[in-house]
Structure 1
Amino acid sequence: MATVKTVLRKTKLADGSYPISLRVSKDRNSKFFQTIFRAFPNEWNETTGSFTAKNSNSIQNNRLLLKFKDRALKILSDLEMEKSDFTLKDFENHFRIVSNPVQQNLFYFWDEIIGEMIYAGRTGNAKVNKDTFESLKKFNKSTKLNFKEITPSFLYKYEAFLRSRGGSDGGIGVRMRTIRALYNFAIERNIAKEQDYPFKIYKVSKLKGKNLKKALSIEEVLKIRDLDLKKYPSFVNTRNYFIFSFYTRGMNFADMMKLEWKDTDCDKIYYTRSKTKGHFKIKIVLPVQEILSYYRKHSIGTNYIFPILLKNNLTPAQLENRKHKTLQRYNKELKEIAEICEINKPLSSYVARHSFANCLKQKGVATDIISESMGHQNLAVTQAYLKEFDNSVLDDAIEILV
């Protein structure tokens, strides 16, 4: 006899909650089917397999869980009538595909994935997916689209559509990688079939951004570091963020924003890079120490070093919103600082990281040291990274011929 129960899985998510799955058991074997729900242990009743009143939307969520269970029980009943020796694989085929054709709809599935990303606090990924969702919907002119319809031909037409609207290789690459990741999710969850995978023919790797990375020389960095802030007091934070990033091996804005006082001691900063999850231990050099001292003196009373997040315990959505607003202002003011310092390069938050690598290269530091300091996974990444910077050595060599 087959049984169905909703259970809290043991895999802990980033926010401390656990995924809820439908467990179907038969002949002492079980198979789990992930739902869209997550819960903290105190929000879940193990015995009844339902949300407790501590869950903010327990009544509606329990109703939806019952629908999952009812659909599973109906499929089991139908299979029992067809053949008593059916397997869990038979059930899976009916539950995921046959009895639920709407699941094969790309936009329906995508909406669930975006919801899961938001719930897990991955708001940056959720935003990229939302933007691509809207773009593809505009191209398709409806939300009726199955995974089997995402063919290489479809993707080439979508690429042409994006180019007609001014899309660059880099921007189109972001869209295509997002769709590819979604397709991979769908294969993992048995929503789409691997044999239909279009990215074996349509290669996203050809879509590489052709814009050269911009980097400052050490002389240009020092111009910003030595900017007379008494003369330009409105640029104190922007100048500090840029110099702090440069002298902390190119720490990106999102990580700086969330850096707390507890992440520092007398001579080191400890943090985990959001993008790669690499762990960093960085020596506090004099310019960084001066910036830290400034913010200790001008603390706004939060756990954070910088006055970007104005209070503790913000939700992921609030963090993302705050990052977006502050980063816009930061990049705008960096361009104004570049003009004041007579730096004829488009300055942005990421230029600090590029400049750190470029200045080490100019000083003759070995590529493997640069690679380790930046947290790159291998030397090839660093070599490709450095290759894009201005090569003054070659320029000087050419001068010999003049």
Structure 2
Amino acid sequence: MKQSIPTVSIVPDKRREKENESFPLKLRITYKGERKYYSTGHNASLDEWERLQTKNVRGKLKTLSNTLSEICVQAQKCCEGLPVFSFAAFEAAFFPKAVSNMSVQTAFDNYMKELRKNGQIGTAVSYNSDCVSLHRFKAGLKFRHLTVDFLKNYESWFLSQGNSITTVSIYVRALRAVMRIEDGIMDVKDYPFGKRKYVVPVGRNIKKALTLEEIARIYNYQAEEGSMDEMSRDYWIFIYLCNGLNMKDMCLLKYKDVEGNFIVYQRAKTMGTRRSHPEPITIALKADARRIIKKWGQKPIQPESYIFPCIEPGMSLEDQRLKIQLLIHLVNEHMKKIAGELGIGKPVTTYYARHSFATILKNSGVSTEFISEALGHSSLKTTKNYLAGFESDAIQKTTDVLLSFKENRLPK
């Protein structure tokens, strides 16, 4: 039986457009239908890439062409020299590295600097908390300390401090992201994450959606005119009606984002990411949402004005974050109070509005793909996590028929 032979090529990674409109050139290894991509350390624009495919390439592009050809030749020799090919074996042979003596603090500082530069202040704050936690567990932490046993011991210690498994998951994912950013810090065989190594724990998926009846109670809640209760109720309903957008995105909405019967906006979360062309989100602007804008929106109505009175022109990103966090806290506290008065036994927050939007649509037969797009998720997996509670309820309801004869309710 003929053994499969890996194929080697260089391709532009069009998912990662850089500021100068160039793309990273990746080494692509294909084996039995599976592909993996590796950095070559070189970039090229699409025009340069097309010229690299011709025979008459000259100058700097000729040098680059020769370099890329040499990488391909060496990679092909490496593949053919392996007794049994596997991606792990190829990586170990082709990218031998000693574990870096770089401090974890330095890597986090570099990454947080980029996050702040991209306006991702909240993410930078979260990563800083992660870094502080890691160094509380072990001062002077280096990448060479990051072993499977270290991560397991850190997880046990972190949980013993009264923290949740969900927070553990967030923190070790952040560490993993920093390790990926700091390319070349260790050999693949020393990398502590992955199958049969340290597996990032999965947090408990607590259902955060309300029923339509509970949402109706919130909608009809009688609050004092102009009170924080009334504003909190209206903001919550606005979020629920507007694709479950988060509070930051709501605060950043401008009147120019209102296009007829729709709101079209870009998620703040995706604007600073490496996605070259993140898709805008389109919201159907319902009459109730228009009413809330009319009641609580700023005047006069100008295209560049923020709709809601939270963000002010010229405010720094850090000040924006603090103002939004304060608003979230106030709305959540008032919503919990309202939920208590209405007999809703759940700690209702703005996050419940987002989950409720997704779950109510799913209950109505809307596809997961549509819900994912409406929420602005980059992956269906994230949306399915949102809907996990719904899936459990659906299974229970569907299988009730198995014992329907006990109540003389035989299916027709």
- TM above 0.5, yes or no, is yes
Structure 2: unaligned runs, 5 residues or longer: 1-16, 21-40, 43-96, 271-277, 408-412
Residue deviations 1:299-318 (CA, integer Å, cap 9, x gap): 69982111222x11222211
- Alignment-derived partner of residue 91 in structure 1: none
- Alignment-derived partner of residue 120 in structure 1: 118
SS in 1 for 2:324: helix
- Alignment-derived partner of residue 148 in structure 1: 144
| Residue 165 (1) aligns with residue 161 (2) | yes
- Alignment-derived partner of residue 353 in structure 1: 354
Q: Tell whether the 8 Å contact from 1:104 to 1:192 is kept in structure 2 after alignment.
A: no
Structure 1: unaligned runs, 5 residues or longer: 1-9, 14-30, 33-96
**Structure 2: how far apart are the matches of 1:102 and 1:365?**
49
- Alignment-derived partner of residue 176 in structure 1: 172
Counterpart residue identity of residue 128, structure 1: S
Q: Superposition pairs for residues 1-400 of structure 1, below 5 Å?
A: 11-12=18-19, 104-140=102-138, 142=139, 144-187=140-183, 190-200=184-194, 201-205=196-200, 207-230=201-224, 233-276=227-270, 277-296=278-297, 303-309=305-311, 311-377=312-378, 379-389=380-390, 391=393, 394-395=396-397, 398=400, 400=404
Residue deviations 1:15-73 (CA, integer Å, cap 9, x gap): xxxxxxxxxxxxxxxx99xxxxxxxxxxxxxxxxxxxxxxxxxxxxxxxxxxxxxxxxx
RMSD: 3.1
Cα 1:300–1:237 shift into 2, 3 Å: farther
- Alignment-derived partner of residue 82 in structure 1: none
Cα 1:280–1:136 shift into 2, 3 Å: same
**Structure 1: how far apart are the matches of 2:301 and 2:160?**
48
Counterpart residue identity of residue 324, structure 1: Q
**Structure 2: how far apart are the matches of 1:229 and 1:139?**
48
Cα 1:376–1:297 shift into 2, 3 Å: closer
Counterpart residue identity of residue 326, structure 1: L
Q: Tell whether the 8 Å contact from 1:173 to 1:204 is kept in structure 2 after alignment.
A: no
**Structure 1: how far apart are the matches of 2:243 and 2:299?**
24
Cα 1:305–1:133 shift into 2, 3 Å: same
Q: Tell whether the 8 Å contact from 2:205 to 2:388 is kept in structure 1 after alignment.
A: no
SS in 1 for 2:263: strand
Aligned length, in residue pairs:
304
**Structure 2: how far apart are the matches of 1:384 and 1:326?**
27
Q: Tell whether the 8 Å contact from 1:183 to 1:192 is kept in structure 2 after alignment.
A: no
1:133 CA displacement:
0.9
**Structure 2: how far apart are the matches of 1:339 and 1:129?**
34
Q: Tell whether the 8 Å contact from 2:112 to 2:124 is kept in structure 1 after alignment.
A: yes
Cα 1:378–1:160 shift into 2, 3 Å: closer
1:213 CA displacement:
2.1
TM-score by length of 1: 0.68
**Structure 1: how far apart are the matches of 2:154 and 2:144?**
15
Residue deviations 1:323-378 (CA, integer Å, cap 9, x gap): 22221111111101111222111101111011112212333334444334334445
Residue deviations 1:96-155 (CA, integer Å, cap 9, x gap): x99xx9971221232232223223321112111110111011100x2x222111111111
SS in 2 for 1:350: helix
**Structure 1: how far apart are the matches of 2:325 and 2:342?**
26
Identity %: 29
Larger relative contact order (CA 8 Å, sep ≥ 6): 2
